[in-house]
A and B are shown apart, each in its own frame.
Chain A
C-alpha cells in the first residue's frame, strides 16, 4: 500500500449535481495530482496542487476544481455533473513538485446517472 487514501470508495450521483472527492496524501508529500480514468482508458491528468496552490492543469473544464489544505490533503470538486464524468478518480501524491515518482491512492468510483 502507498499510504495514499481516498474517500469515498464509490459514489452515485445524478446528472447536474455536484460532488466532492477527498484524498489524503502520503506523509511528508506536498504535491498532489488528480487523474480521471474512464472505463477502458488510461488515466488522464486533471490538475496538480503544490503547497496549496494549483500548479498545473490538464484539458478539463472549469467545473472541475480542487483544493489543497495545509496538511496537504486535497479535494476534487466537480459541478454540474455529466454522464461522461462517470469514471475512476485517482489522486497521486509526490514528495516534491519535481519528484519522479507518484504514489497513487485506490481511487473513487463515480457513477453519474
Chain B
C-alpha cells in the first residue's frame, strides 16, 4: 500500500533557527508528494508539492522540501523559523487507483519558541 510516515509527533525549535519536519514515503512508481499545514480550527493549507524535476522544491511562506529518492524521504525545511510557523504539518502522497486521492501521514506538530 502506498503511504507516508511522519516519525516525529512534535518538533521543537527556537525562533530564528532552521527547522526540519521529516517525512518518508512508500510508493510504487513515481511519487507525487505534498506538504500541507493546518492551523487551529482551520482546514489544510497547501505548502508545496513534488511531481518531477528538481529535488529541492520551494513553496509558500519560505518553506522548501528536499526529495531524496534513495532515502525515500521528502523532508520539509525552513532556514529560519518564525513563531507563527507553529502549527500541525502533514505530508501526503497522491495515490492513483482509477481516481486520485491523497493519503496523509499522522502529522507533526511544530512548536517554535520565541
Measured CB to CB, the residues of A under 8 A from B are: 2, 4, 6, 33, 35, 40-45, 48, 50, 55-56, 58, 90, 92, 97-107
Pairwise interchain contact B98-A56, C-beta atoms closer than 8 A: yes
| Residue in A2, A42, A98, A101 whose beta carbon sits within 8 Å of that of B90 in the complex | A42
Interface centre among A45, A48, A58, A101 (most CB of B within 10 A): A45
CB nearest to A94 among chain B residues: B100
Could you tell me the distance between the alpha carbons of A103 and B36 in the complex, rounded to whole angstroms? Answer: 10
Pairwise interchain contact B90-A33, C-beta atoms closer than 8 A: no
Pairwise interchain contact B94-A42, C-beta atoms closer than 8 A: no
Apart from the given pairs A42-B92, A48-B99, 6 other A-B contacts in the complex at a CB distance below 8 Å: A33-B102, A42-B90, A42-B107, A90-B44, A97-B99, A104-B44
Interface size range of chain B in the complex: 20 to 34
| SS of A interface (majority) | loop
Pairwise interchain contact A102-B99, C-beta atoms closer than 8 A: no
Contacts of B90 in A (CB 8 A): 42-43
Say if the beta carbon of B29 comes within 8 Å of chain A. Answer: no
Pairwise interchain contact B101-A98, C-beta atoms closer than 8 A: no
